[in-house]
Amino acid sequence: MLNFTVGPVMCSDEVRAIGGEQVPYFRTPEFSEVMFENEELMLKFAKAPEGSKVAFMTNSATGSMEAVVVNCFDASDKVLVIDGGSFGHRFVELCEIYEISHTVLNLNQGQKLTRERLYEYNRQGFTGLLVNIDETSTGVLYDSEMIGEFCRENNIFYVCDCVSAFLADFFDMAHCGADVMITGSQKALACPPGVSIIILAPSAVERVTSRKVRSMYFNLMDVLKNMERGQTPFTPAVGILRQINIRLKEIEAVGGADAEIARVAAQAEDFRFKIKNLPFEFVSESPANGVTSVHPINADAYNIFETLKDEYGIWICPNGGSLKHTVFRVGHIGYLTHYDNTVLVDALKDMLEWGFI
Ligand SMILES: *Cc1c(COP(=O)(O)O)cnc(C)c1O
């Protein structure tokens, strides 16, 4: 199997080997040590400001989006949500469920967020902003620095969903001034799904420890208190946290986050170059490194996904909703090489020859 989806993605052999081991008991100094190492490297790779804390959550990244919304906002807030696709829309739904007053900045699918559009919302009393830095449904990358400047000027609590952007696109949490960043184990971290990570800047730590949250599992104050001893309130996905440990050390050994981001960027560039002469169009106005959204001009996007899966053993990522038949996505994260791109592009060329594209 060759997997070009945006998660779960291909894992390194070392990460896979851990998956085959027995899962150890975790209320031990040994496991706490693993958690402290994970915390240290996560803070380093996200370029988190001094005094930031990490919450390792056993849930998919949507659970962490929910945890952040319930811990950081309440009825007294007025939140701006950037909604340019299905992940942005998920934040809108969370605000609706928890009855948090919000305004939606709608973007068309594939459209980038310009300064002009953002500053339409300047000085309007917003207290929070929710954004997916890479809107993975179309692979649009938003400018975390520009949004950070807007938030600083407006004194807005700034939440970055970096689920697919972390380790794939440039992100400097301290410099852009994000209060919270969220990521997940199954995207560029290239581990199995099941763990999501929330980094809280000191401003966010203060916020979650001073507010009352109506949730037991998603009580971030409780999570942070346990993390002081390298532990979690409840049984975490121990095996995946051990795999994350190996993976973070692998990245550190070959140059850290910047080197990994450069590797993913080169993987994306190689793919985009190799499909230049195929009857495809790019969808995103400001493409993220982690994924390329492709519109096949003469063929059904979902058929291409199915044919690659069934006839070639290659997985790309189909789109849902209104884009199901017009757009497919190719991921550049995980344990992939330029040669793997060639295998995929050769399969696409083969399909073109047979009249399927
Ligand atoms: C994948 C993804 C999520 C949600 O991930 P789950 O782990 O499926 O809950 C959230 N936001 C973005 C930007 C993503 O790419």
User: Is residue 37, in this structure, part of any structural domain at all?
Assistant: yes
Domain shared by 133 and 237, yes or no:
yes
- How confident is residue 28, by pLDDT bands cut at 50, 70 and 90? very high
Q: Is residue 6 part of a domain?
A: no
For 228, residues 6+ apart whose C-beta sits below 8 A from its C-beta are: none
Percentage of the residues of the chain whose pLDDT score is greater than 90: 98
Q: Facing residues of 328 across strands?
A: 294, 318
CB atoms within 10 A of CB 37: 16
Q: Say yes or no: 106 and 247 in one domain.
A: yes
Tally Cβ neighbours within 10 Å of residue 276.
8
In a shared domain, residues 243 and 273: no
Q: What is the pLDDT of residues 277-313, one digit of tens each?
A: 999 999 999 999 999 999 999 999 999 999 999 999 9
Decide: 61 in ligand 1 pocket, CB within 6 A.
yes
CATH number of domain containing 280: 3.90.1150.10
Question: 1 lies in a domain?
Answer: no
3-state secondary structure of 308: helix
Alpha-carbon distance 68 to 263, whole Å? 30
Lookup: tokens for 86: 């299905």
324 Cα: distance to centroid of ligand 1 (angstroms): 18
Of 163, 183, 240, the one to substitute when testing ligand 1's pocket (max ligand atoms within 8 A of C-beta) is: 163
Q: What is the pLDDT of residue 50?
A: 98
For ligand 1, the distance from its centroid to the CA atom of residue 263, given in whole angstroms, is 22
Q: pLDDT grade, residue 14 (50/70/90)?
A: very high
51 lies in some domain: yes
Domain that holds residue 170: 13-253
- Residues 277, 143 within the same domain: no
The predicted-structure confidence for 45-79, as pLDDT tens digits, reads as follows 999 999 999 999 999 999 999 999 999 999 999 99
Which residue of 136, 197, 240 sits with most ligand 1 atoms within 8 Å of its CB, as the best mutation to test the pocket? 136
> CA dihedral defined by 273, 275, 281, 286, rounded to 10 degrees?
-30
CB-based contact 198:33 (threshold 8 Å): no
The count of other CB atoms within 10 Å of the CB of residue 45 is 23
Write out pLDDT tens, residues 173-209: 999 999 999 999 999 999 999 999 999 999 999 999 9
pTM: 0.97
Q: How large is the average pLDDT for residues 118-131?
A: 98
C-alpha 203 to ligand 1 mean position (Å): 24
Domain count, the chain: 2
What would you report as the CA-atom Rg of the chain, rounded to the nearest whole angstrom? Answer: 20
Distance 351 CA to ligand 1 centre (A): 31
